[in-house]
A and B are shown apart, each in its own frame.
Chain A
Amino acid sequence: MTVLKRNPAIIWRVERQREAEVKQALAAGDDPGERGTVLLIDSGTMHQLNLVGGTIWQLIDGTRTAADIVADLAVEYDVSQDELIGDVEAFTSDLLQRGWLLHG
C-alpha cells in the first residue's frame, strides 16, 4: 500500500481555536455541527473540512499509508479500526479524485 501525500498546490491551515471548541463540544456530548477546522483553497475556491476530515488531512503527511491513518485515528478517537476503515477510504478516495491528495 502506498503512502498518501497532500497535493502541494493546495494551500491550507488549521483553525486551532475552532478545533479546540469542536473537541470541547464533543467531550461535553454536544453536537458541534459541521464547523470546519481545516480551511483550504483549491483553484481559488475555499473549502472546509470538519474535525474528522481535518484530522485525517493533517495525518496525510507523506509518511503514512491509509492503514496507518486508520490506526492513528483509532487511537485519537478511541474507536476500533473496523469502524473507521470505510470512512477513511471513502474520504481519501474523494480527495484523490479531487486532486487534493496524491499517491506518494
Chain B
Amino acid sequence: MALDLLDTPLRATWDLHDGRSGMPSPLAAQVAQRLTDAQVFYLTLDLHPLLHADVVDLVRDLSAAGCQVEVCTGSSADELARLPELPETVPVLLDVAPFCLADGLDFVGLGKIMDDFRAMGRIPVFSLVPNRDNIGLLGALFAFSQRAGIARFKLPNLRINDTFRQTCQPFMVTPSDLDRLRLQVSDAAAFRSGLQLDVHDLFLWEILFPDGGTARSEYGGCQAANSLAHVDLQATVHPCNSWPHPLGHLAVASFDVIWSSPDRLAIRQNVAMQPAGCCNCRDYAICFGGCRGLARELPTIDGRDPMCAGRR
C-alpha cells in the first residue's frame, strides 16, 4: 500500500544539538510537543543530542507519548557520561565513522568504546553514513559487529547542510564505489554477518539484499516531505536531511499546517515527476528515481539519483 499523501510525517530526524550549540530549551519543548501532536511514530535525535541538557526529559516525554525514539551519539566523554540517564529501552546509535581510518578500521578504538558501553550495561546500534572513504570497510565493520555482539547496524542517508557542496560532494558514494562493493559481496547473507541492517539508500540495499525481502515491501519512492521530515537546530522543517528546503517553522506552525502548505505539496509533486534520466528504465517502478534530495542537490545526469549507474 502506498503512503501518499500523509497528514503528517511518520519518521523525523531532529538536530537537538550539533556538537557546538543546542536548541534553546523552550523551543526544544515546543518541537517535542509538535512531534507528539503530529503522532510521529519514529524519531531519530541526530548528531549530538546527548550534549543537550534536556535530552533525557525530552526522550522520556516523547516515548511516553508513543514515539519510538533513537538517540545518536559520538564517542566523546561528555556524551557517554549522559548515557546512564537514558532509559535502557531507547536505542543508542553510535557513529562509527571516526573509527574508519585510511588504512583500515581502528579496532583498538572500537574495542575501547564497546568496553565503555558494556560497562554501562548497554550495547549500541552502530551507525555509519556511507561515503567513498568508508564504504570499503563495511565488511570489516560487519564482521567486527558480529564479534562484538552488535545486533543492529544502521546505514543512514547522506546529510546535506550549507557547506555540503564544498565539504561533502567529493565523499559522495558513486556507482563505481558500489560496483567495487558488489565485488566484495559474493555471499550477501554471510557479508551481513547476521546483523539487522537498516539501509536507507536503495542502490546500497540492492547489493546487501540481492534477493529482496520484506524490508522495503512498502517502499513507494522518496518519502521526503511525506512520511519523512527533518527538523533542524532552528526548528525549521525540511523534507528530509538530504533535502534542505525550509517548509515551515515549528515555533509558529504545527506539522499539520506545514504538511498542508502549497510548498510541501509542491515538493511531493516534484518527487512524483519521473526524471528524464529514468525514462524507459525497467526498474523505475521499483526505485521511483531513488533519493530525490541528493539528485536535486548534486547536479546529476538527467536528474538521476547520484548513486544510480544508469538506465536498466
| Chain A residues packing against B (C-beta within 8 Å) | 11, 13, 15-18, 34-36, 39, 41, 44, 46, 48
Measured CB to CB, the nearest residue on chain A to B65 is A11
- Once the chains bind, are B1 and A16 in contact (CB under 8 Å)? no
Chain A residues with Cβ below 8 Å from B10 are 39, 46
Supposing A39-B10, A41-B68, A46-B10 touch, asked if A13 and B1 sit within 8 A by C-beta, the answer is no
B39 and A13 contacting across the interface, CB-CB below 8 Å: yes
Flag B201-239 by CB within 8 Å of A: 1 or 0 each: 000000000000000001000000000000000000000
With A36-B1, A46-B218 as contacts: A16 and B7 at CB distance below 8 Å: yes
Instruction: List 30 A-B pairs, Cβ < 8 Å.
Output: A11-B39, A11-B41, A11-B66, A11-B67, A11-B68, A13-B7, A13-B39, A13-B41, A15-B6, A15-B7, A16-B7, A17-B5, A17-B6, A17-B7, A18-B5, A18-B6, A18-B7, A34-B1, A35-B1, A35-B2, A36-B1, A39-B10, A39-B41, A41-B41, A41-B68, A44-B68, A46-B10, A46-B41, A46-B218, A48-B1
Residue total for B at the interface (Cβ-Cβ under 8 A): 12
B90 CB to closest chain A CB, in angstroms? 13
A15 to B39, CA, bound (A): 11
A3 to chain B, nearest CB (A): 22
- Write the nearest CB–CB distance from A15 to chain B, whole angstroms: 5
Interchain nearest-CB distance for A12 vs B (Å) = 8
Across the A-B interface, give the 7 residue pairs with the lowest CB-CB distance, nearest first.
Answer: A11-B66, A13-B39, A36-B1, A48-B1, A41-B41, A17-B7, A15-B7
A33 smallest CB distance to B (angstroms): 8
Q: What chain B residues lie within 8 Å of A36 (beta carbons)?
A: 1
Which B residues contact A (CB, under 8 angstroms)?
A: 1-2, 5-7, 10, 39, 41, 66-68, 218
- List of B residues within 8 angstroms of A11 by Cβ: 39, 41, 66-68
Contacts of B6 in A (CB 8 A): 15, 17-18
Shortest Cβ distance from residue B264 to the other chain A in the assembled complex, whole angstroms: 12
Using CB atoms, name the residue of chain B closest to A13.
B39
* Cα distance, A39 to B4, chains bound together (Å): 13
Residues of B within 8 Å of A48, CB to CB, are 1
Enumerate chain A residues within 8 angstroms of B7, measured Cβ to Cβ.
13, 15-18
User: Closest CB of chain A to B35's CB: distance in Å?
Assistant: 13
Contacts of B41 in A (CB 8 A): 11, 13, 39, 41, 46
Write out the residue numbers on chain A whose beta carbons fall within 8 Å of the beta carbon of B5.
17-18
- Chain B nearest CB, measured from A39 CB (Å): 7
A38 CB, nearest partner CB in chain B, Å: 11
- Give the distance to chain B from A43, nearest Cβ to Cβ, in Å: 10
Contacts of B1 in A (CB 8 A): 34-36, 48
Q: A18-B5, A41-B41 are in contact. List 18 more A-B contacts (CB 8 A).
A: A11-B39, A11-B66, A11-B67, A11-B68, A13-B41, A15-B6, A15-B7, A16-B7, A17-B5, A17-B7, A34-B1, A35-B1, A36-B1, A39-B41, A41-B68, A44-B68, A46-B41, A48-B1
A44 to B125: give the CA distance in the assembly, Å: 15
Write the nearest CB–CB distance from A26 to chain B, whole angstroms. Answer: 17
Bound complex: CA A34 to CA B2 (Å) = 9
